[in-house]
Amino acid sequence: MNEIKLFCPATIANISCGFDVLGLCLEAVGDEMIIRKSEIKGIKIIKIDGAELPLETSKNVAGVAALALLEATDCEFGFEIEIYKKIKAGSGIGSSAASAAGAVFGVNELLGKPFSKKELVQFAMKGEAIASGSEHADNVAPAIFGGITLIRSTKPLDVIKIESPSELYATVIHPQIELKTSDMRAVLKPEVSLKSAIIQWGNLGGLISGFYTSDYELIGRSLHDEIVEPLRGQFIPKFDLIKRMALENGALGSGISGSGPSIFALSKGVETANRIANTIGDVYKEMNLPYDIHVSKVNSEGIKIL
Choose among 169, 139, 183, 134: nearest CA to 155: 134
Choose among 10, 60, 2, 13: nearest CA to 35: 2
For residue 306, pLDDT over 80 is answered with yes
CB 254 within 8 A of CB 248: no
For residue 203, pLDDT over 80 is answered with yes
The overall average pLDDT reported for the chain is: 95
Contacts for 74 with CB less than 8 Å, ≥ 6 apart: none
Contacts for 53 with CB less than 8 Å, ≥ 6 apart: 60, 83, 85, 89
Residue 230: band (very low, low, confident or very high) from pLDDT cuts 50, 70, 90: very high
**201 HSE (CA, 13 A, CB side):** 7
For residue 178, pLDDT over 90 is answered with no
Q: Which pLDDT score, from 0 to 100, does residue 132 have?
A: 75
Q: Which pLDDT score, from 0 to 100, does residue 89 have?
A: 85
Residue 190: band (very low, low, confident or very high) from pLDDT cuts 50, 70, 90: confident
CB 31 within 8 A of CB 88: no
More confident residue, 179 or 201: 201
Q: Which residues are catalytic?
A: 128, 181
Instruction: Give the rounded distance of the alpha carbon of 253 from its chain centre.
Output: 18
Mean pLDDT of 104-120: 97
pTM assigned to the model: 0.94
CB 59 within 8 A of CB 130: yes
Choose among 39, 40, 59, 38: nearest CA to 48: 59
DSSP state string for 227-271: SSHHHHGGGSTTHHHHHHHHHHTT-SEEEE-TTSS-EEEEEESHH
**Cα distance between residue 115 and residue 268, in whole Å:** 36
Residue 224: band (very low, low, confident or very high) from pLDDT cuts 50, 70, 90: very high
For residue 90, is it left (φ>0), alpha (ψ between -120 and 50) or beta?
A: left
pLDDT digit string, tens, across residues 9-22: 999 999 999 999 99
The torsion angles phi and psi of 121, rounded to 5 degrees, stand at: -60, -40
Q: Which pLDDT score, from 0 to 100, does residue 189 have?
A: 84
For residue 185, pLDDT over 80 is answered with no
Q: Which pLDDT score, from 0 to 100, does residue 19 have?
A: 94
More confident residue, 135 or 286: 286
Strand pairing category for 42-49 and 78-84: parallel
Residue 259: band (very low, low, confident or very high) from pLDDT cuts 50, 70, 90: confident
**Cα distance between residue 126 and residue 114, in whole Å:** 18
For residue 86, pLDDT over 90 is answered with yes
